Amino acid sequence: MSNSGSTSVMRALDDLGVPYRIFTHPGPVHSLEQAAAERGQRPEQVIRSILFRLGEGEYVMVLVAGPGQLSWPELRKYLGVSRMTMASEEEVLQATGYTRGAVSPFGLPQPMRILADESIFTNAEVSIGSGVRGTTVILSQDALRRALGDVESGQFCCA
C-alpha cells in the first residue's frame, strides 16, 4: 500500500509501479538497532544510503545493508579515485534534497551515480530512506531491484 505523492521518494516509486509500505517511528531514532527493532526487522534489513564527494560537485551514493562497514580502499579502487570524502550534512542536502537519516536513491533532484553493495540484496524485505526523517519505506527485495533498475553493484563492504 502506498501513499501516493507524499514525498519525492514515494512519487518516484509510485511512478515505477513499485509496491511498498510506509512506517513512521513513534519517536526519535537514536540507532540502527532501534530503527530495525521498531520496524520489526533485523539491522541487516535497513539499507543505508551514504553519499561520498569525489570532487567539486561530483558525488556517488553507496547503498549498504545495516551495520556493514564500507571498505574505503575497495570503494576507491572500484571508482578509480585516490581521494574521496563523506559528504558533509550541507552537501548531502544540496545534492540529494534530503537530510541525513532520510536519504534515498529514489526521487533525487538530478541523476546521480548509485552503487549497491551486494549485501542489500540478501533479505526478502528491506527498508530504505523515505525522504523524511523518522519515516521509512519498506519493500521486498524484488521491488527494490526493480526500482533500482540497472544500478551498479559490487562488494564494497564486509558484513
What pLDDT shows up at residue 93? 96
What does the pLDDT look like over 23-36, one tens digit per residue? Answer: 999 999 999 999 99
For residue 2, being part of any structural domain is answered with no
User: What CATH code is carried by the domain that includes residue 95?
Assistant: 3.90.960.10
For residue 55, being part of any structural domain is answered with yes
Residues 78 and 126: their CA atoms lie apart, in Å, by 25
What pLDDT shows up at residue 3? 44
Number of domains, the chain:
1
Residues 19 and 143: their CA atoms lie apart, in Å, by 7
For residue 26, being part of any structural domain is answered with yes
What does the pLDDT look like over 101-132, one tens digit per residue? Answer: 899 999 999 999 999 999 899 999 999 999 99
For residue 3, being part of any structural domain is answered with no
What pLDDT shows up at residue 158? 59
For residue 39, being part of any structural domain is answered with yes
For residue 81, being part of any structural domain is answered with yes
What pLDDT shows up at residue 151? 86
What pLDDT shows up at residue 106? 96
Under 8 Å between Cβ of 113 and 75? no
Name residues of the chain where pLDDT drops below 50: 1-5, 159
Show the domain range for 79: 8-158
